[in-house]
Amino acid sequence: MRLLFLAPLAPKTGNHTTAERIRVHIESAGHTCELRDAAEFQSPAEVTNLISQKPAFDGALAIHLFKAGRHLLDIPVPFGVIFGGTDINEDVKVEKKRVVMQQVLLKARFAVAFTNKLKEEAELFLLPQRNKIFVQPQGIKTEVTKNFCWTEFLRSSGVRGDHVDEARVFLLVCGLRRVKDPVYLVEAFSGWHHEDPLNVLVIIGPKMDPVLTLEVEALVKRTAGVFLTQERSQQELHAAMKRCFAVVNSSISEGMSAAILEAMDLEVPVLARDIPGNAAVVQHGFTGLLYSSPQEFVHQSQRLLSDPELRERVVRNGKLYVEAHHSSEHERETYRQLVDTLR
């Protein structure tokens, strides 16, 4: 089959990474899958025209019910949708968007949610399509670059001092956009850094929102103990995650954070903001630690520092959890089977 795959494809985002991984799964089954950025299209009519061009497409896929799914409403071939996270967590609150997403879900042959919680939210706010929505957690595969220098990474990130290698680095992995709330922990962390200068927070990720990026850059410049570094390749990022003390998530909303799961796979402790998308994969005190305020973040971080048994437990259980529930091979088989329903 020849499939059109629409998704929000801003570089180095979770949606982009997920879409590329799923595209590979589909093509490994012998299909042709053309991945396109949903932002390229201004209306459903443009996608309908593309679908009909020779050689014609036999079916379509979309990540994100509103940003991509709305463009598939008028196409003459069957399609499936994959929830992005913000569509179910945020866009459903806007009536005009919710109505469109209901239509998309009604017409879709299947829908995929990353978690049971996301499926339940979709059924509650959109349509009770129980037999149409499948739960398939994201498959995770990490790869660490061999030629990675931790000291150089820290110095290039702005971390200075005679004992830079002794720094306890909390790595906040996120694109600079509002939904990731990269400034949420800055003030509280800086206060903690003044008490213990070895604790530093490094924010790493693509600069996606120009206005927010300027705000973060200005804040970091005047805040001790907090640093903003440039994005790295996936392999370099995984190498940095592997060396840091803990990986941090401070998002307002998540579908399923790949960075959290990658940290677990790399056997690094996770400190995640207590939101539904994170709580679906982080069991507090067992596979990671959750916090609901900047002050609680500091408290949980202190627990992780002072309790080696706690650290060992969340690392061990996090690794086991990813191996059991986020197999890339199982994900590939699921998408192969779902795509076959588009025939």
Q: How confident is the model at residue 138 (pLDDT cuts 50, 70, 90)?
A: very high
Q: Are 168 and 201 in contact (CB under 8 A)?
A: no
Q: Which tokens sit at 113?
A: 């949610």
Tens-place pLDDT, residues 209-237: 999 999 999 999 999 999 999 999 889 99
Residue 37 sits in the same domain as residue 177: no
Question: What's the pTM value of the predicted model, to 2 decimals?
Answer: 0.83
- Tell me: do 162 and 309 sit in the same domain: yes
Domain interval for residue 174: 150-326
The tally of domains found in the chain comes to 2
**Are 161 and 124 within one domain?**
no
Is residue 336 domain-resident? yes
Residue 13 has pLDDT above 80, yes or no: no
Residue listed under structure tokens 């086991």: 320
Specify whether 91 is located in the same domain as 182.
no
pLDDT above 80: residue 289: yes
3-state secondary structure of 175: coil
For 12, 96, 198, the CA distances from 145, given in Å and listed in that order, are: 17, 45, 26
User: Tens digit of pLDDT for each residue in 86-108?
Assistant: 898 889 999 999 999 999 999 99
Same domain, 261 and 283: yes
- Is position 145 within any domain? no
The pLDDT, as a whole number, for residue 271 is 98
Answer yes or no: do 86 and 156 share one domain: no
Q: CA-to-CA distance for 49 and 51, rounded, in angstroms?
A: 5
Q: How far apart are CA 55 and CA 41, in angstroms?
A: 19
What's the CA gap between 331 and 326, in Å, rounded? 8
In this structure, are 307 and 336 located in the same domain?
Answer: no
217 lies in the same domain as 244: yes
Q: Is 124 exposed, middle or buried (0-12, 13-18, 19+ CB in 10 A)?
A: exposed
Q: What is the pLDDT of residue 12?
A: 65
Mean pLDDT of the chain: 94
Please indicate, yes or no, if residue 144 is contained in any of the structural domains: no
Do 55 and 161 lie in one domain? The reply is no
What's the rounded Cα separation, in Å, for the pair 104 and 59? Answer: 15
CATH of residue 205 = 3.40.50.2000
CA-nearest of 108, 138, 114 to 126 is 108
21-71 pLDDT, tens digit per residue, is 999 999 999 999 999 999 999 999 999 999 988 899 999 999 999 999 999
Position 278 in a domain: yes
Q: Are residues 135 and 155 in the same domain?
A: no
Clarify whether residues 311 and 331 are in a common domain. no
Q: What is the pLDDT of residue 162?
A: 73
